[in-house]
Amino acid sequence: MYRFYINKTEDDYHFMELARVFFPDDCFETIAYSGKPVGHLLGENSYFINEKGSDDREEIKREFYELLSAITGIRPPWGTLTGVRPLKPALEMCRETSIGSMESEMKEKYLLSTSKASLLADIADYQLAYVSGVPWEKSSLYIGIPFCPTRCAYCSFASNVAPAEDHAAYLENLLKEVSYAGRLAGENGTELESIYIGGGTPTTLSSAQLEALINRVSEAYGVDPSSLEFTVEAGRPDTITKDKLDTLRRLGIRRISINPQSMKDKTLRLIGRDHSSDDIRKGFRLARETGFDVINADLIAGLPEEDADDFEASLKEIISLGAENITIHTLSVKSGSRLKENDPEYYRKNADTVSRMLDLSRKMLSAAGYRPYYIYRQKHQIGALENVGWCLPGKHSIYNIRIMEDKQSIIGLGAGAVGKVYHPAEDRIDRIANVSNYRIYSERFDEMISRKNEYYK
């Protein structure tokens, strides 16, 4: 057990999160401390950080990082940054200096590797060129459909395998919530910038159910789906039919997601998917024939038993299928997932392999004309690495950008949805969450409805 006494701090949270990048939770303890080092505290594997008594948290974190690196022999490429949004401090620097200076400052202040600082510079460059408007002047709408045909081994989302009658009962309440929230939005002059129907897998619903939901959204919010960014996840190709795609296009939906995660059939079976890579190809072909403007595809680096060659082959095919928007995820092994239950320390393995996968993705996507446009990190990701969204120029998702900026209100409807209310004067977010279980959502539906009032206090 390592013990780290952090001098001149009353809260050890940020230091604990940094130590977790290097050690399992049961191998260390961080302790907020004030005063001089006391000999009896510093036993074997005990260390005193910030002996000179600095009040600069980032300076203390740099000292701590260097110590952790010396102990373990590793230098995680994100340096001392542990939060979800590594682009946030980079963009703040860009407001006061050039992108090149920001890149240098991120390396110096947060000990980022050259590669990660360069990645942030590329993303900042894209957003400054292509993203306009004041984020908080409009809102986004997220609607959750918590159903999937099967549950993936890595999944910890509000996703359930459920019979058709449960879909119908859930949708009945969801339509009521959409109407209520839309009425409040109208009364308060809320204008939407984007709408995102996610999950789960929204296309587990039937064509008629999808049409009922989209029509209700249009009526409740007074929007034409073709007049703003409106995305529907069709993530699982085994839920895609020509009838559903025709319905979505007829209603004005121009953006969908088809999320292979891998194009290797053995991997798809290992992670609990009941479709093949041929089903993915068929889904793309149908979507192209139906005339969608933007298709997003997700791939995951670090799936069980995959090596860099497997990942490269999957990405090469997704590029050839013509996805305009490709998100490269680093596998995150979260509580509630089957993978976490089977191997709690899985995310601490194969960091070098996954790092090579991410390097490959950057080279391949850049060569194919894609640009990185948003980034985020999660806990328990292999190698404490990152997720990056890539797009052909102008084909980005404004919803993905806004949700990572944390400077826009997002109205969250349905089971598992987490809304945000942004207060620009204070640069602060309040979160408003619905319950994640769809049955509890229905049982406590009156409470879910009343929570919508919190968006307009």
Q: Is the pLDDT of residue 6 over 80?
A: yes
Mean pLDDT of 316-345: 84
Work out the mean pLDDT of the chain and round it to a whole number: 93
Q: Is the pLDDT of residue 37 over 80?
A: no
- The pLDDT value recorded for residue 206 is 97
Q: Is the pLDDT of residue 68 over 70?
A: yes
**Which of 155-159, 328-332, 443-447 comes out lowest in average pLDDT?**
155-159
- The pLDDT value recorded for residue 373 is 98
Cα(350)–Cα(311) distance, rounded to whole angstroms?
A: 13
Dihedral (Cα; 188, 194, 198, 202), 10-degree rounding: 90
Count of beta carbons in the 10 Å neighbourhood of residue 172: 12
Q: Is the pLDDT of residue 343 over 80?
A: no
Each as own residue / partner, the long-range contacts of residues 12-15 (CB below 8 Å, 24 or more positions apart, any chain) are 14/57, 14/61, 14/82, 15/49, 15/60, 15/61, 15/64
Q: Is the pLDDT of residue 39 over 80?
A: no
**Higher confidence at residue 343 or residue 258?**
258
User: Strand, helix or coil at 122?
Assistant: helix
- The pLDDT value recorded for residue 335 is 62
Instruction: State the pTM of this model.
Output: 0.94
Centroid of chain to Cα 319? 21
In which band, very low, low, confident or very high, does the pLDDT at 187 lie, cut at 50, 70 and 90? very high
- The pLDDT value recorded for residue 156 is 62
What are the domain boundaries of the chain? 1-75, 135-446
Count of beta carbons in the 10 Å neighbourhood of residue 42: 13
Mean pLDDT of 5-27: 93
Taking only the tens place, the pLDDT of each residue in 199-218 is 889 999 999 999 999 999 99
Q: Are strands 371-376 and 387-391 parallel, antiparallel or unpaired?
A: antiparallel
Cis peptide leading into residue 144 (ω within 30°): no
Q: Is the pLDDT of residue 10 over 90?
A: no
- The pLDDT value recorded for residue 75 is 96
- The pLDDT value recorded for residue 35 is 78
Asked if residues 137 and 318 have their Cβ atoms less than 8 Å apart, the reply is: no
- The pLDDT value recorded for residue 380 is 85
The string of DSSP letters for 24-43 reads -GGGEEEEEE-SS--GGG--
- The pLDDT value recorded for residue 350 is 86
- The pLDDT value recorded for residue 199 is 87
Give all strands (DSSP E) within 51-92, no chain letters. none
- The pLDDT value recorded for residue 262 is 96
- The pLDDT value recorded for residue 152 is 72
Cα(398)–Cα(65) distance, rounded to whole angstroms?
A: 34
Q: Residue 263 carries which DSSP code?
A: S
Asked if residues 384 and 350 have their Cβ atoms less than 8 Å apart, the reply is: no
Q: Is the pLDDT of residue 341 over 90?
A: no
Fold of 135-446: pyruvate-formate lyase- activating enzyme (3.80.30)
In which band, very low, low, confident or very high, does the pLDDT at 414 lie, cut at 50, 70 and 90? very high
- In the chain, the amino acid numbered 445 is F
Q: Is the pLDDT of residue 163 over 90?
A: no
Cα(135)–Cα(408) distance, rounded to whole angstroms?
A: 5
In which band, very low, low, confident or very high, does the pLDDT at 159 lie, cut at 50, 70 and 90? low
- The pLDDT value recorded for residue 38 is 72
Mean pLDDT of 239-245: 96
Structure tokens that stand for 455 in this block: 């968006």
In which band, very low, low, confident or very high, does the pLDDT at 13 lie, cut at 50, 70 and 90? very high
The string of DSSP letters for 194-252 reads EEEEEES-GGGS-HHHHHHHHHHHHHHHT--GGGSEEEEE---GGG--HHHHHHHHHTT
Q: Is the pLDDT of residue 158 over 70?
A: no
Determine what percent of the chain is predicted with pLDDT higher than 70.
96
Taking only the tens place, the pLDDT of each residue in 258-306 is 999 999 999 999 988 889 999 999 999 999 999 999 999 999 999 999 9
Structure tokens that stand for 209 in this block: 């159910």
- The pLDDT value recorded for residue 349 is 77
In what order do the strands lie in the sheet containing 2-7?
28-33, 2-7, 46-49
